[in-house]
Amino acid sequence: MGTFFTELAKKLADRWVTLLLIPGALFAAAAVIGAQLGQRHALDPSRLTATVSGVSTLIARQSAGAQAMLVAAALLAAACTGLAAQALAGPTRALFLGMWPRLLMPVQRWRVASRRRRWHVRVQRRRALEQKHPRSSRTPENQQQINTAAERANRIAWTEPGRPTWMGDRTHALEQIAQHRHGLDLAFTWPRLWLVLPDTVRTEITTVNAAFAAAVATATWAWPYLLLATLWWPAALIAIVIGITGWVRARAAIADLSALSEAALDLHGRTLAIALGVAENDSVGPLALDEGERVTALIRKGR
């Protein structure tokens, strides 16, 4: 047990340093530099050198005890900055997943309508190719054309778009697939399904979900730098780089998370049905629509 808590403490410390201390210290340093340089001298190397030298000289003149207190204060300020920044992780996650505030509802509706139009055009293209080349007489080249058309539609969304962002539509598609293919209301079903999933599956999903959370945490640091840009414009460039980095990583994580979650539904949906007494113990295969609807009715309990 002592070894367990030691390892847990190490992991928590590593996470604290990675997500809070180091980014907070970098932002605090950028804030000090930005406040000294301002907009007019944003890229003045001589003023930057003078600022760094002045801070170094000030610290060097202090006693050992005062220096230790300054270091502790700097670490505390960095940690507090990190905590304040991570308070914005929720809005960042909502932005990525297309759960925008009511104020942005007109933009959200426009984005959803635009994505739906593009998706329907590409789906119609795939269906036209399937009708033009029946399966009985389809050549490998014809099949490749159909596969390419299907891939182009799937790049937008797996099902009809319902969210204004790509990441949001990945989670929306998972909900739609669970509802219309398996009869499962994912909001009520997923907690129960999670309890019957094998440990290996849960580990894979947890790992990918942690990668998405880390990507959101990275992107969240774009907000403080955007605020700093009002005093020092190069901070806007830093914000753009950080935001894009987090966004790219979040897209990759959501792609893996949605694929793994759908696979879990396909492979273990019946396990849940058996555990609830809806399916026979010796039944196999993906969960049928009527079975899933009975599972949903049982789980929802009239809610």
Residues 111 and 187 in one domain: no
Residues 196 and 289 in one domain: yes
Distance CA 76, CA 254 (A): 33
Residues 95 and 233 in one domain: yes
Range of the domain at 80: 1-87
Above 80 in pLDDT, residue 68? no
Residues 267 and 282 in one domain: yes
Residues 54 and 126 in one domain: no
Residues 169 and 149 in one domain: no
Residues 95 and 242 in one domain: yes
Alpha helices in the chain (DSSP H): 2-16, 22-37, 45-60, 64-86, 89-96, 105-132, 140-156, 166-182, 186-196, 199-220, 222-228, 234-275, 289-300
Residues 95 and 207 in one domain: yes
- In the structure, what pLDDT confidence band is assigned to residue 18 with cuts at 50, 70 and 90? low
At residue 84, the pLDDT reads 81
More confident residue, 169 or 280: 169
Above 60 in pLDDT, residue 8? no
Name the one residue in this structure whose structure tokens are 């604290």.
Answer: 16
Above 70 in pLDDT, residue 3? no
Residues 174 and 299 in one domain: yes
Residues 83 and 93 in one domain: no
The domain total for the chain is: 3
Above 50 in pLDDT, residue 5? no
DSSP 101: -
Instruction: Pick the last residue of a domain from 144, 162, 180.
Output: 162
Task: Give the residue among 89, 75, 64 at the shortest CA–CA distance from 28.
Answer: 75
Instruction: Pick the last residue of a domain from 143, 162, 181.
Output: 162
Instruction: Pick the last residue of a domain from 87, 119, 141.
Output: 87
- 303's CB contacts (< 8 A; 6+ apart) are 188
Distance CA 145, CA 77 (A): 58
- In the structure, what pLDDT confidence band is assigned to residue 111 with cuts at 50, 70 and 90? very high
Residues 23 and 69 in one domain: yes
Above 80 in pLDDT, residue 7? no
Residues 275 and 147 in one domain: no
Residues 88, 93, 98, 102, CA torsion sign: negative
Chain centroid offset of residue 15 CA: 18
